Amino acid sequence: MDALRALPSVDRLASELDLPHRLAVIAARAVIDERRKELLAGATGDADLLARAHERAARSARRSPRRVLNATGVIVHTNLGRAPLAADAQAAVARIADGYSDLEWDVETGARGSRHDHVAGLLCELTGAEAAMAVNNCAAAVLLAAAALAGPGRDIVVSRGQLVEIGGGFRIPEVVAQAGARLVEVGTTNRTRRTDYERAIGPATGAILRAHPSNFRQLGFVQEVEVEELCELGAPVIDDVGSGDLAEDLPALADEPPVRRSVAAGAALVCFSGDKLLGGPQAGVLVGRAEAIAAARAHPLARALRLDKLSLAALAATLALHREPERARAEIPVLAMLTADATELADRARRLAEGIGALAEIVEASAKVGGGALPLLELPGPVVAVAGPPDALAARLRAADPPVVGRIQDDRLILDPRTLAEEEIEPVAAAVRAALG
């Protein structure tokens, strides 16, 4: 009780902080509440409440979200914001943010326009689709597609082998339920044949859904029906191809379903992400037949799931880069990381190790694509292993400004240069030197 009575008042502690009054009071109140709980839990000894309040105020003053230096080797890192934007996309966002724009206005006619038109032409050009639109993520695209083509009282036919759950608890059966449709399961967990679909399709069928397995793969005694066969069955096909593979000529992406293949097969709606292998902002893209896109645009969910002007600007700029495949590989960070050659990676690893010093060693390891794409693909290359207690080093690097994130492997902290930009090598080296110091 004596220790509790000795706690300063909020006003007294706040008066000792060289901060605006409101911020000082918030920090002081939080620190005193925290210390009160510690004392009630049995804590003893002194606590520097002034230092804690300064640290608390400094934390609250940091802008959030913060930039992070990704040295994990996971290219499309979901927790770290997925795909970094190309310079053209960054410039497009800044340009649209600095004032008004023609988001839903037709400059030529002076009449109301559609935000979807800013990317629809590019998407049709790149995929061969009749029409296109964009929403705020791929999960939203699949939900909208299911609601628009099936909806209440209709069936959506799905292979049991594709009833998957991906990040954040996104489950295919729940998506179908939220769309108001009835789920009809066909086949078995590991084998689904064309005849299974044929028996399930009837007058109540709204669509067939083919779901990308994301980071889940079945190997061995497995069978699924290809999209071309599904499109021959007569019912509209919704094809969730996941990661947005438009760079079909990249060997590393050979196991990802290409968007153009599904469009050419005749799928009614093809859904994919904007912020994975496409390399753009968070977005969900729908391309396909004109009547199916029109139904999706007209559905009430379309407004709730629509993409904002900054993401539309970044998506349009990213799609424009995909018109020139060689330029896309060089300027879209995700594709550049996927195709980085051994010489380039070795040079980055050498400079990073030299910048850290004697406790750094170059070893071989494998990077990952991440983001639910190509879970079996290994991207071998040089990495920098740092001697020292890995958990403690990782914690110190997280406290750097900006934070540096590596991975712990074989009881060592690993820094992978594949996911670091050229200008990030020295800041990472400096952060590690400070952490080791």
Output the DSSP codes for 269-289.
EEEEESSSTT-SSS-EEEEE-
Strands 165-166 and 360-367: unpaired
pTM of the model: 0.88
Q: Which two tokens stand for residue 291?
A: 């009547």
What is the SS3 assignment for 56-72? HHHHHHCCCCCCCEECC
The pLDDT assigned to 377 comes to 85
pLDDT in tens, 191-209: 999 999 999 999 999 999 9
Q: Is the dihedral of CA 55, 61, 65, 71 positive or negative?
A: negative
Computed over its alpha carbons, how large is the radius of gyration of the chain?
26
Structure confidence at residue 302 as a pLDDT band (50, 70, 90): very high
Cis amide bond preceding 65, omega within 30: yes
The pLDDT assigned to 160 comes to 92
Q: Tokens 């925290």 identify what position?
A: 34
Structure confidence at residue 437 as a pLDDT band (50, 70, 90): confident
Structure confidence at residue 167 as a pLDDT band (50, 70, 90): low
Burial class (CB in 10 A: 0-12, 13-18, 19+), 149: buried
For the chain, which domains are there? Answer: 2-61 (no CATH), 69-79+335-436 (3.90.1150.180), 87-324 (3.40.640.10)
- Rounded CA-CA distance 425/352 in Å is 6
Helix H or strand E segment including 124: helix 117-127
Q: Is the dihedral of CA 125, 129, 134, 139 positive or negative?
A: negative
What's the whole-number average pLDDT of the chain?
A: 92
Instruction: Name the residue among 318, 329, 304, 333 with its Cα closest to residue 424.
Output: 333
Mean pLDDT across the stretch 402-416? 96
Q: Using CA atoms of 31, 34, 40, 46 in order, give the dihedral in degrees to the nearest 10.
A: -50
Which residue type, as a one-letter code, is found at position 341?
A: D
Lowest mean pLDDT among 48-57, 159-168, 274-283: 159-168
Per-position DSSP letters for 377-420, written without gaps between them: --EEEEEEEE-S-HHHHHHHHHTSSS-EE-EEETTEEEE-GGGS
pLDDT in tens, 128-143: 999 999 999 999 999 9
Is the pLDDT confidence value at 216 over 80? no
- Rounded CA-CA distance 361/349 in Å is 9
Burial class (CB in 10 A: 0-12, 13-18, 19+), 8: middle
The pLDDT assigned to 213 comes to 79
The pLDDT assigned to 168 comes to 65
Determine contact, residues 231/237, Cβ cutoff 8 Å: yes
pLDDT in tens, 142-164: 999 999 999 898 999 999 998 88
- Rounded CA-CA distance 219/242 in Å is 19
Helix H or strand E segment including 194: helix 194-200
- Rounded CA-CA distance 314/84 in Å is 11
Is the pLDDT confidence value at 236 over 90? yes
The pLDDT assigned to 154 comes to 94
Structure confidence at residue 212 as a pLDDT band (50, 70, 90): confident
Mean pLDDT across the stretch 17-45? 88
Q: Beta-strand (E) ranges in 136-263?
A: 155-159, 165-166, 170-171, 182-186, 205-211, 237-242
Q: Tokens 């990381």 identify what position?
A: 337
What is the SS3 assignment for 47-115? CCHHHHHHHHHHHHHCCCCCCCEECCCECCCHHHCCCCCCHHHHHHHHHHHCCCCCCCECCCCCCECCC
- Rounded CA-CA distance 409/164 in Å is 29
The pLDDT assigned to 215 comes to 67
